[in-house]
Structure 1
Amino acid sequence: MKNLKNTTLALIAFSAFSFTAVEKEKKDIKTEDSKVIWKGYKVTGSHEGTIEIQSGSLTFSEDKLVGGEFVIDMTSLVSTDLEGEYKGKLEGHLKSDDFFGVETYPTASLVFTNVKATGKNSYEVTGDLTIKGKTNPITFNMSIYGSKATASLKIDRTKYDVRYGSTSFFDGLKDKAIYDEFDLVSDLVF
């Protein structure tokens, strides 16, 4: 009888443990405290600026990153390395159909599809990045410390039909060529 009781208790405990769902906690990004910097490169130099996060969240399970999603406000794209007329011209051109077509595509998005821990506070993240209505996978590293996260992404703009000034599509550009890859560096607070 004693063995039957112990076996029954063990089965009940095992069943409860087996079917207990692991709680996931979604933490919203504090958009006003977070920052995304972009940097684009050309033969004769580079330009950089900022772009705002419209909304975003990171998902954790037992304090480990397991997911995330972001919406970027493409209309907020600004240059921080120029002033006056040249600043306005660059911003207007980047927002035009030559580049990001923000009138038609006012947002871009990133949805995490796989997160793998690579260290105590570091992760390799794979996600679906959508720009100008085109979605492609992207892999990058993310570090998390307390309620802050940092990530750097290198994006090939030609995968999103952003071809202006690309030597991958146009010959004879010489010093007017713009490199296909640009960088995004994000400092997130949640």
Structure 2
Amino acid sequence: MKKGVFTLALALVFGSAAATEPIAEEKKEVKTDASTVTWKAYKVTGSHTGTVNLESGHLVFDGDQLTGGEFVADMTSLISTDMEGDGKAKLEGHLKADDFFGVENHGTSKLVFTEVKSTGKNSYEVTGDLTIKGITKPVTFDVSIYGSKATATVKVDRTNYDIKYGSGSFFENLGDKTIYDEFDLVVDLEF
């Protein structure tokens, strides 16, 4: 009887010690060649879509819970996917110019998660610091994780990053030349 009680006591002591040890966070690198970042920008007369490549990125997990992440986008890879020919080249050139993303001086943009809240099974509300053109502002968005894939849609107000070209918030009488301040990033990650 004493041996059984002693064994039970040891199991409780060592079992509870093991159970209280924190699980080490795990950094999972994103497969940049299998992941996509699609942008969509809006104007009075329609919209444009395109892509930008991820240069690097990772998500951080504590067990199966998302706790962090960091991503770098290669702004020189910015392209339009809804146009062809001269119009495509002109739009891409303008987006890379100082009027918009100024990629010659700002070749990358960066997102660093600062807070992650679970909102349900596989769902999270993420707040992060987004840096575009050397300007850092907070953004909040939802992330869904399924297995080794994650998806998110991020709404970005470009005027927060000194991208004011064609903005009705800063210029009057633009009429049908007005470009809306917000654009969307649809992110599909594999890790």
**Number of residue pairs aligned between Structure 1 and Structure 2:** 187
Q: Could you tell me which residue of structure 2 aligns to residue 57 of structure 1? A: 58
**Normalised TM-score (structure 1):** 0.92
After TM superposition, where is structure 1 displaced by more than 2 Å over at least 4 residues in a row?
8-22
Q: Could you tell me which residue of structure 1 aligns to residue 117 of structure 2? A: 116
Letter in 2 for 1:46: S
1:90-169, aligned counterparts within 5 Å? 90-169=91-170
**1:24 has 2:25 as partner:** yes
Distance 2:48 2:42 in 1: 7
Q: Could you tell me which residue of structure 2 aligns to residue 178 of structure 1? A: 179
Q: Could you tell me which residue of structure 1 aligns to residue 42 of structure 2? A: 41
Distance 2:131 2:19 in 1: 37
**1:89 has 2:103 as partner:** no
SS at match of 1:53: strand
Shift of 1:55: 0.1
Shift of 1:54: 0.3
> In the TM superposition, what whole-angstrom CA distance separates every residue of 1:137-190 from its partner, at most 9, and x where no partner exists?
100000000000000000000000000000111111111000000000011000
Letter in 2 for 1:58: L
Shift of 1:22: 2.4
Letter in 1 for 2:155: K
Distance 1:11 1:109 in 2: 47
Distance 1:60 1:158 in 2: 33
Letter in 2 for 1:54: E
Instruction: Let me know the Cα RMSD of the aligned residues.
Output: 2.0
Distance 2:130 2:69 in 1: 12
Distance 1:19 1:116 in 2: 22
**Tell me, which stretches of 5 or more residues in structure 1 are unaligned?**
none
**Normalised TM-score (structure 2):** 0.91
**Tell me, which stretches of 5 or more residues in structure 2 are unaligned?**
1-5
Identity of aligned residues (%): 65
SS at match of 1:137: strand
Q: Could you tell me which residue of structure 1 aligns to residue 3 of structure 2? A: none
SS at match of 1:150: strand
Distance 2:158 2:79 in 1: 17
| Farther off after superposition, 13-22 or 131-140 | 13-22
